Structure formats: structure tokens, C-alpha cells
Amino acid sequence: DGGITQSPKYLFRKEGQNVTLSCEQNLNHDAMYWYRQDPGQGLRLIYYSQIVNDFQKGDIAEGYSVSREKKESFPLTVTSAQKNPTAFYLCASAEGATNEKLFFGSGTQLSVL
């Protein structure tokens, strides 16, 4: 089955800890994205990557880091510098010559202990 897999489904972070959210896709998409969703809010872009070994900051990149060493994988690290990390995190990849269709994973709920 082709798709985007996010893991884990639920993640808990202790104070001062870095945690990494996994995102893998087997759709052969070049572009991948990380969004943050807070209750009653729209999605906000954290980071995106148009191609392997390249990524760009989105609107709320502070306290987060990413890597794109492989086309299939785009992990997101929530660092201790992110003071309010509790949110639902969504990974997406894009299809189309101009990346016009986004496909989303099922999300990771991150909570602070």
C-alpha cells in the first residue's frame, strides 16, 4: 500500500528532552512537509523540503529541526527550546509537477509530562 506513515501515534515528552517524530512515504514524492495543529486552529507550517538534502523553514520553525537524508524520510525533532510543544503534528508529501496535491499522514499527538 502506498502512503505516508507517521510514528508514533502518541508521544510524551519530559521537560528538557528532545523527541523525534518519524515520517516515511513510499509515494516517490519529492516534497515533504511538517505542520502543527492546535485545537480550533488551522495548520501551521513548521518545515518543508522540496528535495533530498535541502529543507526550508516554515512559519513556526523555532524550537524544531529536521533532516532529509533520504527521499522517503523526513523526521522532525522537537527540541527542548520549543516551550509549548503539545500539539498534533502532521506530515505531508506532495504530488504534481508543482506540488499541488498534498497527502497527509495520520498524525502524532505530542504531549508534555
Partner 1 sequence: GEDVEQSLFLSVREGDSSVINCTYTDSSSTYLYWYKQEPGAGLQLLTYIFSNMDMKQDQRLTVLLNKKDKHLSLRIADTQTGDSAIYFCAESIRDYGGSQGNLIFGKGTKLSVKP
Which residues here bind partner 1, judged by CB under 8 A? 4, 6, 31, 33, 40-43, 45, 48, 50, 56, 58, 90, 92, 94, 96, 98-107, 109
Q: How far is the CB of 54 from partner 1 (least distance, A)?
A: 9
Q: From 40, 32, 44, select the one nearest 95 (Cα to Cα).
A: 32
- Pairing type for strands 108-112 and 10-13 reads parallel
Q: How far is the CB of 80 from partner 1 (least distance, A)?
A: 27
Could you give the CA distance from residue 83 to residue 62 in angstroms, rounded to a whole number?
10
| Residue among 58 and 80 whose Cβ is closer to partner 1 | 58
Q: How far is the CB of 56 from partner 1 (least distance, A)?
A: 7
Could you give the CA distance from residue 113 to residue 110 in angstroms, rounded to a whole number?
10
